[in-house]
Amino acid sequence: MTRGPWLIALVCGSFACGDDLEVTLRVVPSTGIAPLEARLEASVEGAKEGAKLRYRFDLNGDGTYDTEPAEAPVAEFTFGQGPYRPWVEVIDEKGDTHRAFVDITVDPNQPPVPVLEVAPAMGRQPLAVTLDSSKSSDPEGEDPPLEARYDFDADGKFDTEWAPVGSASHVYSVVGAHAPTVEVRDWRGGVASTAASVTVLPGLDLDADMNRDGRISDEDDLNEDVFSTTSGAVFLANVDDDDGDGVQDFRDDVVSGIEDVQDMARLMVRQYQDLPSSSTVRLAIEPAAAASNIRIFGEDGGGNLVEVYAPGSGETALDAGRMAAGDITLYVEGLSGWTQDWDGRAEITLTAERGDDGAIESDKVAMRVAPVIFPDNTRPAETLYVMEITIFDLGPNVPFYRGVMEHTPSEVEIYTVDQIEYLGDRWVQDNMQTGYQVMPTDTGMHVMQTYLETVRSTGDDGLEYLVTDELHGQDHGYFFTGGGETSLNYGGNLEITPPYVDASGTEHPFGRILVGGGAGGTILGRAYEDHMTSRQRAFLDAQIQGPTLELSSEWLLVGHIDEIFLFLPNPSRHNGRDFVVLFASPMLAVSSLEELEAAGLSSEVVFPGRRTQTTVGAILQDDAFLSYQEAVQARIDSVREKLMAEMALTDADILEVPVLYEAHRYFGDDYSAAYVPGIQNLVVLNQTLLVPDPEGPTQNGTDIWQRMTREVLEPLGVTVHFVDVFDSYHLNLGEAHCGTGVRHAPYDAAWWEKE
């Protein structure tokens, strides 16, 4: 701003001036543009030294004094546009008044001069246009810079917030003339707007739900060729069975009803009005892995959905005439999820070679099939799968089942697996891992429950058919990567960590898949190696919760990591986390027995009333057994250390319960199994825990192992219920967790927003 010279206006009017005082009023600055912040300064000549004068101002010259009489000879005022004559009145010690005024004219603020350039101003749909307002100017040339906002579709609603003048992008999909508007403002509030013209000619436009709002709209034309955390359409592997024919829906080339359609992601081929019917239109899918794992359906013109793209070919032809007539909706299903051979990404390109001028146009969208996500134990429990066995020959589990029925929270559905159908095969955990796929739709998130079928082969009669023949159905699908040639493939050997940040700072928002296996040999030093099969491991590695982390379990009889630890919810958050890890500890059990011995309770019975009952003293007299506990503890500690290092855990995150182990012999090999019902092998149902009853020795009428377990778990804010697993599960080499499956709620986080 340019400051003007002093303007001294006078003076003493004819009103009540004192005899010898001369008052002068000036304004600083004396000129400028509205709104003008100025200072009025009065000065007086002829007053006696030390005279006490008081001043009051009529700031805008409207004849009314705006300030009270005060000793300060100054006042501040913001002038709007126009001429002003402010006054000052000086009151001397006698009460006489002396006045002066000054004239000032404030110039008006000139609105900015908006300029809107669009490029290209014309083109075929979808037309990506850059709108540029950077050439807009301020007539006063003042700082700070101008700001602009855009209304792309001239509907009177601005589509962007105020921002410094510059460029913005928008994709126009609707054929016709458009008049985008820019509004520019300067810092004084001066506003001006201008419009430009954009003409969208009919053209090739392939749309998908790129912004994942469940709808396909013009907004989806932005960044449509890239799948990232902010853009890209999602589809599902169509592994459920909507028509109940026992076959996964992706395996046939028909659409099985509206439910099947809902499992598919939509693609929209926009109407291309002036596309000659003689044009050649092709829809291509890349890369090759995607081309082999995608099927696309479309209407046949008679209202039926038929296969328009068969997996494998890589491309298909579309009818130019139909494209000219109207929009075409296509439906995409995946034949596979993420695998080691395919990360699930697909680029679908629509290409048209016009029949008139031979011009070639294309449009591409990026999509990705959903991974299978396996929720961890800390997620809300929805369904508990368990078998009730009452038939004697099948080995009844009545006490266990009764305990489950009694203590399962009401919000959890109990799914009772039929004992006859599966001939008493009670190892539900071994045969499946519950997970889900999810994609956004216009009615919300569409979740397909997706199991990993982890077969425990029994011949023809066991639970290996539970998933495929019974659970498989509408919105319940499954993946199966191969047979159960090793018990390390079973579901009990697959645990999910809760979400965490690892030692390197990497976030695992869906946790990480842990599997058991290794080459560490047996506890007694026999060379031995066993792992989950490479096919299943590779499948798990490929998921968003991968790569898997292998923890030593090869030394265990069944070979599952749930034989030694489990993740639990932790409502208390005493350690600052929502979870803790519960480990079995053989040395904790030995210590507890020695305490009983020291208390003179060596004859206390362990496993009272059971066929295998023994005493505290008998256990402690078995040197081989005791030294074995120390070796097992060391192996468990190795697992614990590895898990702590990976998850950046501290000892505060780990809890221990007493569990003894024993060696079982097979052809000279020694494998460990829980000698005591494995307490840590429990069932997590929200804040309720169904815990294997250890049936330990008592002190003062209390089972010491139950007491120790309660002392560890109850401070977490969970409820502990002991359930009888001894004959029906424990002696058959499993516990409560092994004999159940729990479906937990999906994570709140969207997988597509994560790296």
Partner 1 sequence: MRKLAVIIPVLLLAGQAAAAPGAEYEAEKARLTAMGPRGLSLVKARQAESAYSESTWREDVRFDAILFWMERPEQAQRAYDLAGLKPEVYLKKRRPIPEATRELSELGVAPVLFELLLFTKDRYPFATGSAEERAALDDALVVALGRSQHPAAHHALLDLVRDAEQPEHLRSLAAHSLGVHGREQAESTLAELVRDSRLAPEIRHGAVRGLGQVRTARSIGLISSVLLEARTVEMRNVAIRALGSAASPTVLRRRNAPEALRVSASDALVEALRRPEAVEVGDALVETIAVVRHPAAMQKIAALQETELSDAHQDLVSRAAHRLRRALRR
The piece of 170-178, 275-283, 298-306, 628-636 that touches partner 1 (CB under 8 A) is: 628-636
What the block records as the tokens of 42 is: 């009065």
The piece of 249-257, 411-419, 521-529, 534-542 that touches partner 1 (CB under 8 A) is: 521-529
460 lines the binding site for partner 1 (CB under 8 A): no
What the block records as the tokens of 342 is: 């395919």
User: 210, 738, 741, 752: which one contacts partner 1 (CB under 8 A)?
Assistant: 738
734 lines the binding site for partner 1 (CB under 8 A): yes
Q: Is the peptide bond before 380 cis (omega within 30 degrees of 0)?
A: no
391 lines the binding site for partner 1 (CB under 8 A): no
CA–CA distance, 399 with 721 (Å, rounded to integer): 13
C-beta closer to partner 1: residue 151 or 604? 604
420 lines the binding site for partner 1 (CB under 8 A): no
The contacts of residue 536 (CB under 8 Å, 6+ apart) are 452, 454, 481, 482, 489
Site string (285-324) toward partner 1, x via CB under 8 A: ----------------------------------------
In angstroms, give the least distance from the CB of 499 to partner 1: 27
The contacts of residue 733 (CB under 8 Å, 6+ apart) are 557, 558, 673
C-beta closer to partner 1: residue 72 or 624? 624
525 lines the binding site for partner 1 (CB under 8 A): yes
| Ramachandran bin of 60, using left for φ above 0, alpha for ψ from -120 to 50, beta for the remaining angles | alpha
In angstroms, give the least distance from the CB of 664 to partner 1: 6
Q: Cα separations (Å) of 351 from 217, 296, 348? A: 20, 16, 10
Q: In terms of residues, how long is the chain?
A: 755
In angstroms, give the least distance from the CB of 644 to partner 1: 10
User: 9, 12, 28, 524: which one contacts partner 1 (CB under 8 A)?
Assistant: 524
What the block records as the tokens of 225 is: 């060729």
Cα pseudo-dihedral 180, 191, 112, 30, rounded to 10: 180
Secondary structure class of 578 (helix, strand, coil): coil
Phi first, then psi: give them for residue 699, nearest 5 degrees: -140, 125
662 lines the binding site for partner 1 (CB under 8 A): yes
User: 57, 427, 480, 705: which one contacts partner 1 (CB under 8 A)?
Assistant: 427
Number of chain residues interacting with partner 1 (CB under 8 A): 49
Q: Is the peptide bond before 126 cis (omega within 30 degrees of 0)?
A: yes
269 lines the binding site for partner 1 (CB under 8 A): no
User: 276, 521, 546, 617: which one contacts partner 1 (CB under 8 A)?
Assistant: 521
Site string (467-496) toward partner 1, x via CB under 8 A: --------------------x--x------
CA–CA distance, 433 with 52 (Å, rounded to integer): 93
Secondary structure class of 310 (helix, strand, coil): coil
The piece of 5-13, 629-637, 683-691, 696-704 that touches partner 1 (CB under 8 A) is: 629-637
699 lines the binding site for partner 1 (CB under 8 A): no
Site string (604-623) toward partner 1, x via CB under 8 A: --------x-x-----x--x
665 lines the binding site for partner 1 (CB under 8 A): yes
What the block records as the tokens of 640 is: 């614990």
The contacts of residue 300 (CB under 8 Å, 6+ apart) are 306
**Residue of 450, 687, 746 lying closest to 568 (CA atoms):** 687
**DSSP per-residue string spanning 611-649:** TT-EEHHHHHT-HHHHHHHHHHHHHHHHHHHHHHHHHT-
666 lines the binding site for partner 1 (CB under 8 A): yes
737 lines the binding site for partner 1 (CB under 8 A): no
CA–CA distance, 588 with 621 (Å, rounded to integer): 17
Give yes or no for a contact between 472 and 248, defined as CB atoms under 8 angstroms apart. yes
634 lines the binding site for partner 1 (CB under 8 A): yes
User: 273, 638, 687, 699: which one contacts partner 1 (CB under 8 A)?
Assistant: 638
In angstroms, give the least distance from the CB of 607 to partner 1: 12
In angstroms, give the least distance from the CB of 523 to partner 1: 7
439 lines the binding site for partner 1 (CB under 8 A): no
424 lines the binding site for partner 1 (CB under 8 A): yes
Give yes or no for a contact between 182 and 149, defined as CB atoms under 8 angstroms apart. yes
What the block records as the tokens of 728 is: 């029906």
Report which residue type is found at 418.
Answer: D
Binding site for partner 1 (CB under 8 A): 393, 395, 424, 426-427, 430, 456, 458, 487, 490, 520-521, 523-527, 557-558, 587, 590, 612, 614, 620, 623-624, 626-631, 633-635, 637-638, 641, 662, 664-669, 732-734, 738
